[in-house]
Amino acid sequence: MIVDSLDLKALPPGRHHFWLNLLPNVMGGRTQVPVMVLKGKERGPVIGLTSAVHGNELNGIPVIGEIFDKIQPENLKGTILAVPVMNIRGFMQNHRMFENQGTTQGKADLNRLMSGSLKGEVEEAEFYAKALTDKIVKQCDYIFDLHGLGFMGKMKSYIIADGKHPIAWKMAQACRPEYICETSDMQRIGNLRSEGVKMGIPTVTFEIGGSPHAFEYKEIEKAKHGLLNAFFTMGWTKTNLADLKLISSKTKVIGSYAGNHTHNDGGLVELKTKLGDVVAKGQLIGHLRDVFWQPIKTLYAKEPGEVIAVASNPVKAPGGGVIYVSEPKREIAHDINHGANSSERVSGGVG
C-alpha cells in the first residue's frame, strides 16, 4: 500500500507493509521508502529499527525481517516501526552515499544530514533526510539504527552509544554485543544517533559486520538475538525470544579506535594480524609490497589494543586503512542464564 504519512495509532495489531511517499522525484512522481510496522496487542512505545542509511550496508535488512517473523503481536507491548532501506538511492545503486538527481547531482552522506532541518546549500539529499526525520524518526520513542562498517571488509560488530545517556546505554548493553563504543552525542552533528538523542529519542547505532554488499549470516544472527534480548530487557516483549547462548556473555567498552594506514605509500598489503588479535604498540602488523612482490615498507601498530577491523582488500592507495585497533576501557559481565541484569565493572584493560 502506498501512503503519504503513517498513522500508527489507526492501525490494527499485526504486521503491515507500506511504501511511504517522502518527496517528489524528477518525474513528478514520488520517491518512496519501504516501511514495516508490527503493532502489538498491548499499547506501548514506538520502537524504531532503521537500516541501510548507508545504502551498501545490508546486514540490517535480514535482521529486521527475522525480528518481524519472530515477534508475534500477542508478545509485543508497543509498535515496531522499521525501515529496512533508509537510503533508497544508495541502495539501488549499490552505494554507501545518496545520489542526488536532477540539477543538484552529486553524492551525499545521509548520515551527516539527519538534523531534520534545512540549512546552507539545500540539495535533494537534505530534503530527503528532513522527510525521513519528520515522517519516521519523530514517530519513534527509541531507535536502533543498523549499519555495518561498510568499507573495511571484516570487523567485529559493535554498538555506538552515548555513555552519559542512561536509556541509550541500557539499550546498547541489553543487546550484549562484544563491544560498545562509548561516545558523546551532544557534541556530534548530523548522524541519526546523535540527532535522535538530541530530539529526546534514545538512539544507538548497531554496526553489524564489516562487509559492504553482503549478508554476513553469523553477525546477522548475533544482532537478531541481541536485539530480541534488548526488547525483553526494555520491557517491550512479554517473553524473551533471544537465545542467550548465541550472544556475548561479556561486553568490552571501547572509546575511539586508532586506524593504521599506509600513509604516503601505495601498494599491496600482506597482513600479519587478524581480527580479534591483541597487538602491542609498535608490533609488526604486515608488509606493504609492490606489484613485483618487492617490499616497500613494514607496517607497525600505531597504538596497542584489540584488532576490531581489518581490510579485506589488500590494494591500497596512499592513506588506505589496514587495521583498526582499540583498547577496552572496562568490561560488562552479563548473566548468561537470564535476559535482563548485567553488571558493569572496571577491568584492568588489555596490553
Cβ proximity to Zn ion: between 96 and 334 the closer is 96
Cβ proximity to Zn ion: between 114 and 325 the closer is 114
Nearest-approach distance from CB 79 to Zn ion, in angstroms: 25
Q: Does 54 interact with Zn ion (rule: CB under 5 A)? A: yes
Residue with cell 582488500: 313
Q: Does 147 interact with Zn ion (rule: CB under 5 A)? A: yes
Cβ proximity to Zn ion: between 100 and 205 the closer is 205
Nearest-approach distance from CB 164 to Zn ion, in angstroms: 23
CB 11 within 8 A of CB 29: no
Q: Does 193 interact with Zn ion (rule: CB under 5 A)? A: no
CB 229 within 8 A of CB 222: no
Q: Which residues contact 119 (CB under 8 A, 6 or more apart)?
A: 126
Nearest-approach distance from CB 125 to Zn ion, in angstroms: 15
Q: Which stretch binds Zn ion (CB under 5 A): 23-31, 100-108, 146-154, 228-236?
A: 146-154
SS (H, E, C) 314-341: CEECCCCEEEEEECCCEEEEECCCCCCC
> Quick one: CA dihedral 147, 150, 156, 158, positive or negative?
negative
User: Closest Cα to residue 204, out of 229, 167, 149, 251?
Assistant: 167
Which amino acid is it at 304?
Answer: P
Cβ proximity to Zn ion: between 76 and 161 the closer is 161
Nearest-approach distance from CB 316 to Zn ion, in angstroms: 21
Task: Write out the binding residues for Zn ion, residues 57-86 only, by CB under 5 A.
Answer: 57
Q: Does 95 interact with Zn ion (rule: CB under 5 A)? A: no
Q: Which stretch binds Zn ion (CB under 5 A): 50-58, 87-95, 138-146, 249-257?
A: 50-58
Beta bridge mates, 326: 306
Q: Which residues bind Zn ion (CB under 5 A)?
A: 54, 57, 147
